[in-house]
Amino acid sequence: MAEKVLQIRSLTAGFLTEKGFVKATDRVTLELDRGQTLCVVGESGSGKSVTAMSVMRLIDYAGGFIEDGEVLFSGSDLVKKKQQEMLKIRGNRITMIFQDPMSALNPVFTVGDQIAEALRIHKRMSKQAAWQASVEMLRRVGIPDPDMRAKQYPHEMSGGMCQRVVIAMALACNPELLIADEPTTALDVTVQAQILDLLRQLKQEFGMSILLITHDMGVAAEVADRIAVMYAGAVVEEGTVKEIFEQPRHPYTIGLLKSIPGLEGERGGELYTIKGVIPPISQLPSGCRFHPRCPHVMEICKQREPALLASPTGHKAACWLDEPGLKGAAEAETAASSHALKVTIGSKTEVTL
């Protein structure tokens, strides 16, 4: 069996507000095999970043805390670690890149110095060795003329170039796990594709595992081995890219797939949107959290929460439609209203929904 680099078990994290503790994630369970990429997708406010911040234990600094659950990193529970111990892990064995590369870079130091700093702290390299290693890292992330570039400040570089620097900084210490939170959202489409290519290539080269957070199913299709779909703080579906794109089980996942730009189908190019908005987790509806927006809602959905259940292949979904007795009735009800849509995602996948 593949070695698990990360096992998040029933993670409930949130924030103390005037109304008391408000959950941002609700019993989130995720697993990442060594050398693989797990993409976490979902709309804004679904708890993706809070999940990542909890793994890094950065949530403690954002006014939040982990109420319950475990985050096993190479078998050891990060939730139980003191911040002092996390300093040895964060930026070294687990690193993170964010949406806005400028916010991750210090404007008053050269990019070479910033990469070298991480190597000096975590790998105890000499000043000269760290500088040489940082130039080499810039070369490996595809920055032309790295000797010259290493001496430049962030404002002398483009956004795409800065994100390459941030990736170089994140990989300099050869982490076991890279967490990337919307790493391409701030970049234009061409640069976005280049950065995704780079991450794919570096994953192979460095043999690391990647937890990639995105609201974009197209990005997930390009880079993921497995995809977890989050809705209102909870994982509602999880499976391989093929399972998620070719046999989606949860109506929310199906809605996300239909919302991908570039649809070919019966709607003449009009973009599908999931009706309604994601509820704040403090005001979750009864039963299934997706039921007010679900086109297949049944009576049981309003009353009882469906469990996240795995198929024999490990494809998980939390939906009452998976109950054999209920599925037939729902299928008959929805057959009349469904539209066949063909979706092409990147160069990889074509599915009919």
Ligand X SMILES: Nc1ncnc2c1ncn2[C@@H]1O[C@H](COP(=O)(O)OP(=O)(O)OP(=O)(O)O)[C@@H](O)[C@H]1O
Binding site for ligand SF4 (CB under 6 A): 250-251, 288, 290-291, 294, 296-298, 301, 306, 319-321
Query: Is 218 or 285 the residue whose CB approaches ligand SF4 more closely?
Result: 285
Minimum distance from residue 152 beta carbon to ligand X (Å): 30
Query: Which of the listed partners (ligand X, Mg ion, ligand SF4, none) does 160 bind, with a CB threshold of 5 to 8 Å by partner kind?
Result: none
The number of C-alpha atoms within 13 Å of 187 and in the hemisphere containing its C-beta is 24
**Rounded to whole angstroms, what are the CA distances from 325 to 267, 300, 318, 330, 333?**
32, 12, 16, 10, 14
Nearer to ligand SF4 among residue 103 and residue 337 (C-beta): 337
The binder of 251, among ligand SF4, ligand X, Mg ion, none, by C-beta within 5 to 8 A per type, is: ligand SF4
Contacts of 274 (CB under 8 A, 6+ apart): 43, 252, 255, 256, 259, 293
Q: Looking at beta carbons only, is 59 or 195 nearer to ligand X?
A: 59
User: Closest separation between CB of residue 219 and ligand SF4, Å?
Assistant: 24
Question: Environment class of residue 245 by beta-carbon count within 10 Å: exposed (0-12), middle (13-18) or buried (19+)?
Answer: buried
CB of 238 to ligand SF4, least distance (A): 15
Closest distance to ligand SF4 from the beta carbon of 251 (Å) = 5
23 binds, among ligand SF4, ligand X, Mg ion, none (CB under 5 to 8 A by kind): none
CB 215 within 8 A of CB 43: yes
Partner whose footprint covers residue 288, from ligand SF4, ligand X, Mg ion, none (CB < 5 to 8 Å by kind)? ligand SF4
Rounded CA separation 18/298 (Å): 35
Residue whose CB is less far from Mg ion, 49 or 114: 49
Give 252: exposed, middle or buried? Use CB within 10 Å, 0-12, 13-18, 19+. Answer: buried
In terms of CB distance, is 200 or 215 closer to ligand X? Answer: 215
Per the CB < 8 A criterion, the answer to whether 15 and 45 are in contact is no
Provide the β-strand partners of residue 231.
234
Q: Is 49 an interacting residue with respect to Mg ion (CB under 5 A)?
A: yes
Residues that bind Mg ion (CB under 5 A): 49
